Amino acid sequence: MLVKSFLSWMDEAPARERAEAATVLAEAWQAGALGEDTPEAVEAALTSVLDDPSPMVRRALALAFAESREAPRHLVLGLAADQAEVSAPLIARSPLLTEADLVDLAATGERKALVAIAIRQDVSRAVAQALIHRRDPDCAFALAGNSASEIAEADLLALIEVFGHLPKFRVVVQARPDLPVTARHALMLRTAEGLGQFVTEGGFLAGGRKARLLDDTLQSGTIALARQSPGEVGRFVAHLRKQGLLTPALLLRSVLGGDLALVTQALADLCSVPASRVSALLRGRSEPSIVVLLRRAGLPAFAEPVLAAAIMAAARLPAGEAPGEFSLPVLRAAQGACIDIAGEEGVRLMAMLRRFEAQTMREESRARAESLRQDLRQEKSESLALSMPGDAQDLLRLGGFDADGEKLVAEIVQSQPEIATPKRRILRERGLVLDEPIPDLATIIAEWKTELGMPPATLPAFSTQKPGRSRAA
């Protein structure tokens, strides 16, 4: 009776009512409330909905069976192959769709259907590869943003190669929890490419200066990535070699920071020698052995003495010292070996090492100056705390008080009795006194001459008249 009433209704009712009827029949199927009708008859009635001319009716059936594990498989496959407006909700959630089904749908589906596949919680590597081959930006964005999707390293690099120029895509990929170091390096290259184009077209930097700045930044970033992923250095070195980015300059720069991990793995890969053997040779600090290893790796002859000297200096650094961008002892050892290199290569190499040394000393000076500023701020806060009563100190420690709080602090300070205390001279660096007024130039010169035993001289009064004009004029 239910099936006959349904079929009769479907022939005459408008689309909205037919959609409601399809939903009711699908829910009755899942609940087993079929009445006198057989499951085969109900299944046939539901299958007839696939031929309904209205997408609204077919979509209602797709929504009803979207999360069902008991739905007829041929019905689910028929709905999944429908237009994306109908199939997308079912494709995104149906547990009955297998990996083979999803790969087949990815090969022929519309954009909305591809996105529906990409946001599923069971996207395997085969399904991800089929989606990546479609090269759809919305699908790629959804796939990369799905942390549950499994994407092979090669496929992820292909995604970055195609869509890495999009900033939002780079942000989504960077947030993936399983991002390999090779993908992070590819993201860094695409970001640097976009920034380089921006500064050149905007006229911020000249071409030569931009090239040097980008080259230094990329090398520094590559070394930082290698240090952050010690377990992936071998695969990272193979990736750099395949991309043509494993250069002598990169190896030298990594050693100049005092870290031998990257150069050890690089020499092992270039010489086809176990990394443990290479590490023992480098730590042994035998210059002939290191030079032979560098020569076997095919490095330029002019770079061999400099790189060997830097490796030996890095091996002598204390074991507990954390590697930085550059180490001054290693830099100076490399400069000493660079003196004997003749020709243009030696000049350019020495200029690069001098530039790195100046950069390192400038950074150390900045760090020292910042430390002195912190000490000065601490001294000022301690002096302020000593000069205030206890109640005001408590309010200051709480911090963030409003205007009423500031008024209360002022009242507390004014209500305290004055206590005669001897004047104290609180000295800061370079002999300045905090509790005395700053003297003028004439007083400073007079005090200086007095300390040197020179007779004081009267400084001429500064005239306020404009030069070249007399009072008579």
The pLDDT assigned to 246 comes to: 93
Contact 266, 272 (CB under 8 A): no
Enter the tokens of residue 186.
């590819």
Contact 312, 256 (CB under 8 A): no
Range name among 88-92, 170-174, 328-332, 448-452 with the lowest pLDDT average: 448-452
CA distance 347 to 339: 9
* Of 256, 273, 306, nearest in space to 264 by CA: 273
pLDDT of residue 238: 94
Evaluate whether 156 touches 180 at the Cβ level (below 8 Å).
yes
First to last CA, the chain: 122
Whether the per-residue pLDDT at 471 is higher than 60: the answer is: no
Residue type, 267: L
- State how far the Cα of 362 lies from the Cα of 431, in Å rounded to an integer: 26
Instruction: Give the pLDDT of residue 433.
Output: 45
Q: How far apart are CA 229 and CA 213, in angstroms?
A: 24
In this prediction, residue 332 has a pLDDT band, given cuts at 50, 70 and 90, of very high
What mean pLDDT comes out for the span 95-117?
A: 95
Question: Which residues 6+ apart lie within 8 Å of 10 measured at CB?
Answer: 18, 21, 48, 49, 52
The Cα–Cα gap between 129 and 134 comes to: 9
Cα–Cα nearest to 326, from 362, 301, 370 = 362
What token pair was written down for 27? 């829910």
Give 80-101 pLDDT, tens digit per residue.
999 999 999 999 999 999 999 9
Q: Which of 110 and 209 is assigned the larger pLDDT?
A: 110
Task: Report pLDDT for 472.
Answer: 41
Question: pLDDT for 144-169, tens place per residue?
Answer: 999 999 999 999 999 999 999 999 99
pTM: 0.70
- Assess whether pLDDT exceeds 50 at residue 423: no
Using CB atoms within 10 Å of the CB of residue 255, give its burial: 0 to 12 exposed, 13 to 18 middle, 19+ buried. buried
- Residue type for position 421: T
pLDDT at 414: 53
Distance CA 203, CA 260 (A): 39
Of 24-33, 68-77, 167-176, 302-311, give the lowest mean pLDDT range. 24-33
Average pLDDT of the chain to the nearest whole number = 82
The predicted pLDDT at position 19 comes to 92
Q: Which of 96-105, 232-241, 440-449, 460-469 has the lowest mean pLDDT?
A: 460-469
Report pLDDT for 343.
83
Kindly state the tokens that stand for 441: 């130039």
286-324: string of b/e by CB count within 10 Å (b at 16+)? Answer: eeeebbebbeebebeebbbbbbbbbbbbbbeeeeeeebe
At 438, the pLDDT band (50, 70, 90 cuts) reads low
Instruction: Identify the DSSP state of 325.
Output: S
Write the DSSP symbol of residue 49.
G
- Mind listing the pLDDT tens digit for each residue in 426-435? 444 444 444 5
209: phi > 0 → left, psi -120 to 50 → alpha, else beta; which?
alpha
Distance CA 187, CA 163 (A): 10
What integer pLDDT is reported at residue 428 of this predicted model?
42
Copy the structure tokens of residue 306.
């400099």
- Is-contact 42 27, C-beta < 8 A? no
Q: Assess whether pLDDT exceeds 70 at residue 405.
A: no
User: Residue 223 corresponds to which amino acid?
Assistant: I
Q: What percent of the chain has pLDDT over 70?
A: 79
Residue 465 phi/psi, 5-degree rounding, is -75, 155
